[in-house]
Amino acid sequence: MTPGPAHGAPVQAVIFDWGGTLAHYAGVEMADMWQLAARHLVGHTPGDEATIQRRLAAVELAMWERTATDARAASLSDLLAEATRDLGADVAAAVLEEAGTHYLDMWTPHIRHVPDAVEALTALRARGLRIGLLSNTHWPPAYHERFLERDGLAGLIDARLYTSEMPYMKPHPQAFRAALDALRVDGPARAVFVGDRPFDDIFGAQRAGMRAVLVPNPLVPAHDVQPDATIERLLHLPGVIDGWQARSAADAAQ
């Protein structure tokens, strides 16, 4: 655990990333969904199953590359609409009929929240802190909510925001501003963001004026940024925040 300097103001809220932070990073990609959709679309658009699947994957990659540069969020509906335009066939209908339920059910055993997530969030709430969630995702909120409910986390998070329903995604400042507004925080310096992605989470939160705590994840891209603290386990977070709160109180007393 590497704590960083306090920013002066006492902390009011802690906002978490989801995948790789509250939940274990799941290496399940959309290739399975595209495979089922391609199987359905054979005969409705040029090419065999493998060709159609490659075209669908290329549309997905292009959308992620675009959002990485302009930070405009994209929902699953946006992705399927773009695929429909590219292939000239109703990809959304194919996914709904052939892939949607199968794909989400396939994810269920892979989505596991970290073992100390409930304990860590409970400890933070006991300190009077507001808790938020801000996740970059194509998927609608109901998909994530069912896992949070299943594992007893939903009731511990005061505001849950998903970029599939927002105009921007992390690291755009407006994504963080939306989370701060939802938690009614008195300015970004009063909030801490916790995430595993140095660019999306740490750089984005600090640029928005927040403190940022990194949970290292070797599976995500690196970025030249210095987090305010680094923790190996979520249960280390309350101690980091306690230290910041103590320094803020000492500064105020001087």
The CA-CA-CA angle for residues 81, 170, 163, to 5°, reads 40
Flag whether pLDDT at 119 surpasses 80.
Answer: yes
Closest CA to 59 of 79, 78, 88: 79
Residue 187 pLDDT: 95
Closest CA to 189 of 17, 5, 1: 5
Peptide bond into 167 cis (omega under 30): no
User: What three-state secondary structure class fits 211?
Assistant: strand
Looking at the structure, give the CATH architecture of the domain made up of residues 13-26+112-253. Answer: 3-Layer(aba) Sandwich (3.40)
β pairing state of 191-195 and 159-162: unpaired
Output the average pLDDT for the chain: 87
Dump pLDDT digits (tens) for 36-78: 788 878 888 888 989 988 888 888 888 877 766 766 666 777 8
Determine contact, residues 215/192, Cβ cutoff 8 Å. no
β pairing state of 191-195 and 13-16: parallel
Q: Rg of the chain over CA atoms, in angstroms?
A: 20
Dump pLDDT digits (tens) for 196-225: 999 999 999 999 999 999 999 998 999 999
Residue 25 pLDDT: 63
Domain edges within the chain: 13-26+112-253, 31-107
Average pLDDT over every residue of 89-99: 70
